[in-house]
Chains A and B, each alone.
Chain A
């Protein structure tokens, strides 16, 4: 052992003892019971209907980009829910713990959560929302939509795509495991050094945080490689760069950011790991270490990560607004230019996350101006969307409502963002809840577009539309909640409330804290309507079956194929004639043409390799967290062995013959993503040469 650990260690169980399970904490017992019930609610029907084999073969082992995308989104939504519960607990604790006379319940002196537990809750709230909710959902949307938008059959590397998914899932599983075995990091989602160093965070919490992010970020990096390759190499004939849909453009720019930024995070965390496991001094205060090194590395990833999330959100707006304005997007070229301008500038603004760390006025000015420059292309985008609506014929379907809401949030987020970009203002509100309110405006803008995208593309993937009435109730309750909570939070920022407080010393904050709590009530209501929307839609799915284009005014290539999209995407590779291909075909009355001849299609085979790698990645992470060296070592060797063995196993995929294609296409309902039956496979094998 290179480092001094507090507590026991044994070769067999590492740091794990029975005391690591917090069975005495009623909140965690409740969370555990809830998770078990929710888990059983999924598992029991699967067992009852005998679908274990189906789920395993057709989903868990799937390499189909749509199924992988859907699983990414489901993971993201589950984590979004948990992150929401965390947020709800944070707000409730603060409203209960304001002022020296506030009462204490359970083990807490004030409120109902003692500080070390509260610190874990806000840390997991941030980690989950950014890395395990927003990131997987947007990655999932890219996975589902991008190959369809460019007329490809699948991603460039289908199996690697599944590996990305399972690494991300296992990262999320590590965070979930930390809830019931041991504890999570209490040093914030950003991992404040040197607080994350062993002397100041002696338990396994930081290790959980570190390995969860490390494992999932490898998945994100692999996914970025996949998306870039797919977009560059697999566009349908005629899909020139100037005909690429905006969502694909933004996913491309985002993936470039992902490919270049996530390795920096990996390095930052690996050096932290060296400090915690090997006793090095990269980020310690003493012996040559410097916490600024981590802060710089983290935010050199962290700020591009913000744009990694927000650019696809902008892409979604650029798809939804033209569809429901019945007009092409205004200023296609400026939109693409603005996208890449934002992606480029995102690399030169990271220092604005720590203006208060004492850099000189000139350094701060440079980063301040760089930050404000982001406002220019963002402004261009806003004007583009506004002018798309100008002289349009707007229908307020649910996705359009979310989009207009997102636009207004972007304006508030932009205003406060430029305020924060000025170091002088930043000094007064840097660590206050004003900043929290600002970046929640931005991430909620992403959430708004995510909901727009899910409702917009849901019928494409599943073949039936979501219920509009409950969808609109979901939107309005969510909208009211956002307005109430974050208006109050901006106000609290001006009242001097700072972030991450378990106990609030100032009773003056009470009125606004109560307002925030009322807003939380609306959020709870919106969660209810979300589930009701899903329930009603699935119940009435037969009534809401839809054709290729359920909205009637969609414009891009993905709406050309069937809904639900068959596993082979397009019966024949589409020929692209114009930007907004479907709008062009509709104008020329050729959107419903059936192909005359079919070609054989070569498809990838499902594989168990990704899930095996995923499970061993979890084993590696868990072993490292608890310092169970045999488990970590064995899992790592198993991953390497799996990769080597699968690399030497020929996997030629399978081919669907032209005749089989004709038979599939002439059936009334093509086998889609929800279809139970699957064509027998492989139809015919051929080796790739």
Chain B
């Protein structure tokens, strides 16, 4: 499908010419690529009607000024043909856009994006990596259920393998977003959402929460590091030796309200097998992590403590 759209590529050229700070114009991986593709396609279809209308507005607004003494016809207030056209043309555009939408929702469906299924890409047939994501106030916890490791604010995945995420929140709603890699998906308490992405080259990207979640929201970044398969295996092995273990009791400690201002990462080994499900079940049973009123009102913020392993703030 991507190859068919030469015209789209031509239209995308000026977009790609923008600097790297234009994150959305420099996608990494099939999902982000097709996001950009549909953005450009959809905008191009819309411009077919928006540009002439804008020109027409400007021309009429300038041409029929009183001072210009142009043709004046106060009786012109109805025309069946024109009125049918003005309903018809937008309708046609909408029908075209509907086809675009229908194609795009499946291609980038967060639960199961078909843009990852291109069989020419070896990544599509490689076994996927499962990662469970839990947000707390205000940190990201990434659990690798098959590797029995977990991290805080550091998502490390191998290049060339699809990453399938299950996301849920221990507290309030957040929004998982890595602009160049993974589009937004909400992370909600008591519910599980899914997301998937793949990046074929090693690299580093910034991810963060996009949906407001309280006082520490602005500091909810996490680094996204794409490692080569060998580097990833080495990283997993190293992390499996991390001294800090993560079971539900330890989770209750780290889930207390914490603003991790530098997004300092932290690593856990020996992660309990059902931690994601346990956290989700606890939330559904009414577990909350109250935010202290003084923090809510005017600070001061708890200092980030998880960069250092020995002290964990247990909250107030």
Which residues on the A side are within 8 Å of B301 (C-beta)? 109, 115
Residues of A376-390 contacting chain B, CB below 8 A: 376, 379-380, 382-384, 386-390
Indicate if A207 sits at the interface (CB-CB under 8 A): no
Instruction: Give B57-82 as 1s and 0s: 1 = Cβ < 8 Å from A's Cβ atoms.
Output: 10011001110001111101111001
Which of B116-124, B144-152, B224-232, B288-296 forms contacts with chain A?
B288-296
Instruction: Give A364-380 as 1s and 0s: 1 = Cβ < 8 Å from B's Cβ atoms.
Output: 11001100110110011
The answer to whether B217 touches A115, judged by C-beta atoms less than 8 angstroms apart, is: yes
Q: How far is the CA of A136 from the CA of B165 in the complex (A)?
A: 45
A286-B288, A376-B87, A394-B61 in contact; A7/B293 too (CB < 8 A)? Answer: yes
Indicate if B106 sits at the interface (CB-CB under 8 A): yes
B29 to chain A, nearest CB (A): 13
The answer to whether A414 touches B50, judged by C-beta atoms less than 8 angstroms apart, is: yes
Instruction: Give B104-121 as 1s and 0s: 1 = Cβ < 8 Å from A's Cβ atoms.
Output: 111111110000000000
Q: How far is the CA of A1 from the CA of B137 in the complex (A)?
A: 27
Which residues on the B side are within 8 Å of A389 (C-beta)? 57, 60-61, 64
Indicate if A290 sits at the interface (CB-CB under 8 A): yes
Indicate if A186 sits at the interface (CB-CB under 8 A): yes
Contact of B298 among A22, A356, A373 (CB under 8 A): A22
Contact of A392 among B32, B46, B47, B72 (CB under 8 A): B72
The answer to whether B108 touches A418, judged by C-beta atoms less than 8 angstroms apart, is: no
Which residues on the A side are within 8 Å of B284 (C-beta)? 285-287
CB nearest to B102 among chain A residues: A365
The answer to whether A505 touches B206, judged by C-beta atoms less than 8 angstroms apart, is: yes
Contact of A494 among B25, B93, B101, B189 (CB under 8 A): B25
Indicate if A404 sits at the interface (CB-CB under 8 A): yes
The answer to whether B53 touches A386, judged by C-beta atoms less than 8 angstroms apart, is: yes
Of residues B86, B190, B216, B284, which shows the largest number of chain A Cβ atoms within 10 Å of its Cβ?
B86
Residues of A294-314 contacting chain B, CB below 8 A: none
The answer to whether B54 touches A408, judged by C-beta atoms less than 8 angstroms apart, is: yes
In the complex, how many residue pairs between chain A and chain B have their CB atoms under 8 Å apart? 331
A183-B297, A393-B72 in contact; A6/B64 too (CB < 8 A)? Answer: no
Which of B207-215, B242-250, B270-278 forms contacts with chain A?
B207-215
Q: How far is the CA of A503 from the CA of B261 in the complex (A)?
A: 10
A114-B298, A334-B87, A509-B21 in contact; A194/B60 too (CB < 8 A)? Answer: no
Instruction: Give A327-347 as 1s and 0s: 1 = Cβ < 8 Å from B's Cβ atoms.
Output: 111111010000000000000
Indicate if B252 sits at the interface (CB-CB under 8 A): no
Q: How far is the CA of A291 from the CA of B288 in the complex (A)?
A: 14
Q: How far is the CA of A436 from the CA of B70 in the complex (A)?
A: 40
The answer to whether A330 touches B76, judged by C-beta atoms less than 8 angstroms apart, is: yes
Instruction: Give A397-439 as 1s and 0s: 1 = Cβ < 8 Å from B's Cβ atoms.
Output: 0000000100110010011001101111101111110000000
Indicate if A103 sits at the interface (CB-CB under 8 A): no
The answer to whether A422 touches B38, judged by C-beta atoms less than 8 angstroms apart, is: yes
The answer to whether B42 touches A422, judged by C-beta atoms less than 8 angstroms apart, is: yes
A393-B66, A404-B57, A425-B39 in contact; A195/B108 too (CB < 8 A)? Answer: no
Which residues on the A side are within 8 Å of B97 (C-beta)? 372, 418, 422
Which residues on the B side are within 8 Å of A364 (C-beta)? 105
Indicate if B172 sits at the interface (CB-CB under 8 A): yes
Indicate if B56 sits at the interface (CB-CB under 8 A): yes
A375 to chain B, nearest CB (A): 6
Indicate if B171 sits at the interface (CB-CB under 8 A): yes
Which residues on the B side are within 8 Å of A424 (C-beta)? 34-35, 38-39, 42, 101, 104-105, 107-108
The answer to whether A331 touches B98, judged by C-beta atoms less than 8 angstroms apart, is: no
The answer to whether A498 touches B285, judged by C-beta atoms less than 8 angstroms apart, is: no
A526 to chain B, nearest CB (A): 21
Which residues on the A side are within 8 Å of B104 (C-beta)? 422-424
A318 to chain B, nearest CB (A): 12
Indicate if B83 sits at the interface (CB-CB under 8 A): yes
A687 to chain B, nearest CB (A): 48
Which of A196-204, A216-224, A530-538, A632-640 forms contacts with chain B?
A196-204
Indicate if B127 sits at the interface (CB-CB under 8 A): no
The answer to whether B293 touches A495, judged by C-beta atoms less than 8 angstroms apart, is: no
The answer to whether A390 touches B43, judged by C-beta atoms less than 8 angstroms apart, is: no
The answer to whether A375 touches B94, judged by C-beta atoms less than 8 angstroms apart, is: yes
A360-B111, A427-B108 in contact; A498/B90 too (CB < 8 A)? Answer: no
Q: How far is the CA of A414 from the CA of B104 in the complex (A)?
A: 20
Which residues on the B side are within 8 Å of A114 (C-beta)? 298-299
Which residues on the B side are within 8 Å of A598 (C-beta)? none
Q: How far is the CA of A484 from the CA of B189 in the complex (A)?
A: 39
The answer to whether A386 touches B299, judged by C-beta atoms less than 8 angstroms apart, is: no
Residues of A68-105 contacting chain B, CB below 8 A: 100
Interchain residue pairs A-B with the least CB separation, the first 8? A285-B189, A427-B183, A496-B179, A286-B286, A424-B104, A496-B23, A508-B21, A431-B210
Name 29 interchain pairs, CB-CB below 8 A, sorted by A.
Answer: A100-B262, A115-B218, A119-B212, A119-B215, A186-B214, A195-B214, A285-B189, A290-B191, A325-B64, A327-B73, A330-B78, A356-B183, A358-B194, A361-B105, A369-B101, A375-B90, A380-B87, A387-B76, A391-B70, A391-B73, A392-B74, A393-B64, A404-B61, A418-B46, A427-B183, A429-B24, A496-B23, A505-B208, A508-B21
List 13 additional A-B contacts (Cβ < 8 Å) besides A199-B291, A328-B74, A394-B66: A116-B296, A199-B288, A200-B137, A200-B290, A205-B296, A284-B286, A285-B283, A380-B90, A392-B64, A414-B50, A418-B42, A494-B22, A495-B23
